[in-house]
């Protein structure tokens, strides 16, 4: 018998603790709504909800525990009612209930729902009981369908949003470092701007030299003599036979490895 009482005490203590947690969480949220409604943002507000739902879960976990006493089987009996102001009670209830009198006790010790709510519940239950199975099934499928649609829409929106965000990350290039350098070299040092004729001659020589280098990697000695004289036509003429030469060379190079 004593052991049971002890168990009940500890269980009640745990429950009261959880309920207090829940109460402070709700109070904090009310405080936030009342005082920080100007700066409050949704994520913050939802965090509060998450906190409250966490407390509710832990409370229901305690209540559902095997070792928890079945509170339904216990009765609270008001032994003495008094219209006098009770300071102790006022302190315990944080100033909410000043007297333990007959007009307040039925409300506070009530274990059922409010009469109005109770009536409404009963009506709804009666209505639910009256609906036949087929129509309820129909409604159920319809409901699932609607939910499915909403789910699809939400998913689609998310996909679009994500792809858009992705596109923004890999946005088309709007500037190029190479162009910046080209422009600054031109403006700052005249690169590519200095007298056109010189540029043309230089690039012409370069192309001839390049052609030769590609053509005959081996005999470079001949080229310096021809380079400066070389006009584009000569470059062209040199290119053709040299290409053949390369082919022959390449073929002969392959042999030793066979």
Partner 1 sequence: MTAPISTAMDSLSAALKSNIIPNQEYLLQGSVLDTSVEVLLHRLRGLCDNVDTGPEPFYDHEMCFSIRRGSPQEQPLLLRVRRALDAIHSDMPWQLRYIGQPELGDKSRPTVVRSSIDIATSNTVVEFLTELGCKLDFEYVTRGYMFRKGRMKITVSKIFKVNQGKVPEGVPEMISQSYLVELSVLAPSGQDAIAEDMRIFAEQLRPLVQLEKIDYKRLVH
- Contact set with partner 1 (CB under 8 A): 171-196
Please report how close the Cβ of residue 93 comes to partner 1 at its closest, in angstroms: 57
Please report how close the Cβ of residue 183 comes to partner 1 at its closest, in angstroms: 4
Q: Which of 107/179 has CB closer to partner 1?
A: 179
Residues β-bridged to residue 100: 82
Q: Which of 173/252 has CB closer to partner 1?
A: 173
Please report how close the Cβ of residue 176 comes to partner 1 at its closest, in angstroms: 6
Please report how close the Cβ of residue 201 comes to partner 1 at its closest, in angstroms: 16
Q: Which of 30/187 has CB closer to partner 1?
A: 187
Taking residue 159's Cβ as centre, other Cβ atoms within 10 Å add up to 10
Residues 6+ apart with CB under 8 A from 100: 78, 80, 81, 82, 86, 89
Q: Which of 178/248 has CB closer to partner 1?
A: 178
Q: Which of 106/188 has CB closer to partner 1?
A: 188
Q: Which of 109/201 has CB closer to partner 1?
A: 201
Please report how close the Cβ of residue 198 comes to partner 1 at its closest, in angstroms: 11
Q: How far is CA 255 from CA 233, 247, 249, in A?
A: 35, 13, 10
Please report how close the Cβ of residue 202 comes to partner 1 at its closest, in angstroms: 15
Angle formed by the axes of helices 196-215 and 232-254, nearest 10°: 20
Give the containing element (helix H, strand E) for 120.
helix 115-130
CA-to-CA distance for 236 and 231, rounded, in angstroms?
9
- Dihedral of CA 243/245/251/257: which sign? negative
Residues 6+ apart with CB under 8 A from 25: 48, 51, 52, 55
Q: Which residue has the tokens 């080229």?
A: 223
CA-to-CA distance for 213 and 221, rounded, in angstroms?
11
């Amino acid at each position: 018998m004593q052991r049971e009482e002890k168990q009940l005490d500890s269980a009640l203590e745990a429950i009261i603790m959880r309920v207090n947690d829940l109460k402070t969480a709700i109070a904090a949220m009310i405080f936030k709504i009342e005082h920080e409604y100007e700066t409050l943002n949704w994520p913050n507000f939802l965090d509060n909800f998450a906190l409250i739902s966490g407390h509710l879960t832990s409370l229901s976990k305690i209540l559902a525990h095997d070792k928890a006493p079945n509170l339904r089987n216990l009765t609270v009996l008001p032994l003495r009612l008094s219209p006098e102001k009770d300071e102790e009670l006022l302190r315990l209830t944080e100033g909410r209930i000043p007297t333990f009198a007959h007009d307040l006790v039925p409300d506070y010790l009530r274990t059922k729902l409010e009469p109005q709510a109770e009536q409404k519940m009963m009506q709804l239950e009666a209505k639910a009981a009256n609906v036949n199975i087929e129509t309820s099934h129909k409604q159920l499928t319809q409901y699932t369908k609607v939910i499915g649609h909403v789910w699809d829409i939400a998913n689609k929106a998310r996909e679009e949003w994500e792809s858009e965000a992705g596109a923004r990350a890999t946005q088309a290039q709007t500037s190029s470092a190479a162009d910046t350098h080209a422009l600054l070299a031109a403006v700052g040092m005249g690169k590519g701007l200095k007298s056109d004729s010189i540029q043309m001659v230089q690039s012409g020589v370069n192309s001839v030299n390049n052609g030769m280098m590609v053509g005959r990697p081996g005999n470079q000695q001949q080229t310096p003599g021809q380079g400066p004289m070389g006009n584009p036509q000569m470059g062209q003429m040199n290119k053709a036979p040299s290409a053949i030469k390369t082919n022959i060379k390449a073929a002969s190079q392959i042999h030793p490895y066979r």
